[in-house]
C-alpha cells in the first residue's frame, strides 16, 4: 500500500509517523518545510505538491484545518492542480479534517466523477498526544468498499475505527463530540474561576472532582494536558480559539440542518465565544 499524507500539523505529523512505523510507504506534503523534513527523517518521501503526492497513492489522507483548505488540496489552489487532478481511478481519499457534512458530500461527488472514492474519517481521542501514540479513534462515513481499502492505513493510526454510516456521518459524529468537549472546557474554566474566587486552589478543586465529584469529566481530569496542548498548538492560543469557534459553528449548523433545538450551542456561539476570543480557552 502507498499512502499520501497531506497536512502535517498538530495531528498530521504524528499520524504520518505511525504509518511509517507500520511499514507503509508514505509520501508527505505540507506548505511548511519543517514538518516535512521531520517526516522525511522518519522515512517518508517528500512531495512537491498535493497533486504530486497523490499521483502514485492508493490512499490519500488529508488533515488540514479548514473547508477552504480541503477544497484547495483536492481541487487545486494556485499552481497546484490538486489531488483529484492526478489520483488514479480507484484511489481512496480519506478526509480527516472537521468540515461540514454538505462539503463532504459535494467533494465526494467531484471525486466520483473521476473514479475516486472519498470518505470522511474524523478523529478524536486526545489531540496531538493521541496522534503521536497511534491511539486516536476514527469515525468514518462512506461506502464499505472504500473504507476497506483504506483500513490498513487507518488501523496504523488509530486504536479504533467506527464506521458510523454514509458520507458525512463521520464528521457529524466528530462535530457532536467536539461540541461536548469544547462545552466542557468552558464549564471547567468557569468552575476554576469560582474556585479561585472562593480561595480554593486549582489543584485542590480538580483533585476533589477527580476523586469522585459528580461533575468529573475527561476534560476536568486532563486539565493540565489541555493547557499544555493550547500552549503548544502550531498557531498558539489564537489558533486554538479559531478551531473552537469553527467546531461550535459547525455544531450550530448541524443542528439547524436537521431542525434540532440547540439552545446551549446557540448561547455559546453568541455569548461565550467573544469572551473566549479575548481570553483564550483556558485563560
C-alpha cell at 142: 462512506
The dihedrals phi and psi of 178, each to the nearest 5 degrees, come to: -65, -35
- Could you give the CA distance from residue 153 to residue 237 in angstroms, rounded to a whole number? 31
CB atoms within 10 A of CB 19: 27
Cα 80–Cα 84–Cα 87 angle in degrees, nearest 5: 105
Residue 123: strand pairing partners: 138
Give per-residue burial for 252-272: e unless 16+ CB within 10 Å, then b.
bebbeeeeeebeebeebbeeb
Query: Edge-to-edge strand order for the sheet containing 59-62?
Result: 45-46, 25-29, 2-6, 59-62, 92-95, 117-124, 136-141, 158-165
Strands 25-29 and 92-95: unpaired
Handedness of CA 102, 106, 107, 111 (dihedral sign): positive
- Is 174 catalytic? The answer is yes
Catalytic position from the list 21, 174, 203, 237: 174
Give the span between the Cα atoms of 275 and 268, in whole angstroms.
Answer: 10
How, if at all, do strands 117-124 and 136-141 pair? antiparallel
Question: Please, where are the H alpha helices in the chain?
Answer: 12-21, 33-41, 50-54, 67-75, 83-86, 101-112, 127-133, 144-157, 169-197, 202-210, 218-221, 223-232, 236-257, 263-267, 273-279
Catalytic residues, by residue number, are 174
Amino acid at each position: 500500500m502507498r499512502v499520501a499524507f497531506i497536512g502535517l500539523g498538530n495531528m498530521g505529523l504524528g499520524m504520518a509517523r505511525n504509518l511509517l512505523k507500520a511499514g507503509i510507504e508514505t509520501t508527505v506534503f505540507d506548505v511548511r518545510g519543517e514538518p516535512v523534513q521531520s517526516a522525511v527523517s522518519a522515512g517518508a518521501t517528500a512531495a512537491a505538491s498535493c497533486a504530486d503526492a497523490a499521483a502514485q497513492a492508493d490512499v490519500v489522507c488529508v488533515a488540514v484545518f479548514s473547508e477552504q483548505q480541503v477544497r484547495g488540496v483536492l481541487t487545486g489552489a494556485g499552481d497546484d492542480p490538486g489531488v483529484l487532478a492526478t489520483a488514479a481511478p480507484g484511489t481512496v481519499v480519506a478526509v480527516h479534517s472537521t468540515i461540514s457534512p454538505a462539503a463532504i458530500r459535494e467533494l465526494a461527488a467531484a471525486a466520483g466523477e473521476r473514479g475516486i472514492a472519498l470518505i470522511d474519517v474524523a478523529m478524536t481521542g486526545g489531540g496531538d498526544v493521541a496522534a503521536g501514540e497511534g491511539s486516536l479513534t476514527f469515525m468514518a462515513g462512506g461506502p464499505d468498499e472504500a473504507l476497506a481499502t483504506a483500513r490498513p492505513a487507518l488501523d496504523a493510526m488509530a486504536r479504533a475505527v467506527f464506521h458510523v454510516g454514509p458520507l458525512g456521518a463521520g464528521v457529524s459524529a466528530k462535530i457532536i463530540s467536539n461540541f461536548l468537549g469544547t462545552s466542557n472546557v468552558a464549564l471547567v474554566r468557569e468552575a476554576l474561576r469560582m474556585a479561585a474566587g472562593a480561595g480554593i486552589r486549582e489543584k485542590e478543586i480538580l483533585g476533589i472532582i477527580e476523586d469522585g465529584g459528580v461533575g468529573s469529566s475527561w476534560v476536568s481530569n486532563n486539565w493540565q494536558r489541555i493547557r499544555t496542548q493550547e500552549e503548544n498548538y502550531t498557531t498558539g492560543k489564537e489558533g486554538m480559539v479559531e478551531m473552537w469557534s469553527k467546531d461550535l459553528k459547525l455544531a450550530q449548523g448541524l443542528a439547524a440542518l436537521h431542525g434540532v433545538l440547540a439552545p446551549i450551542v446557540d448561547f455559546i456561539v453568541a455569548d461565550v465565544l467573544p469572551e473566549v476570543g479575548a481570553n483564550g480557552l483556558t485563560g
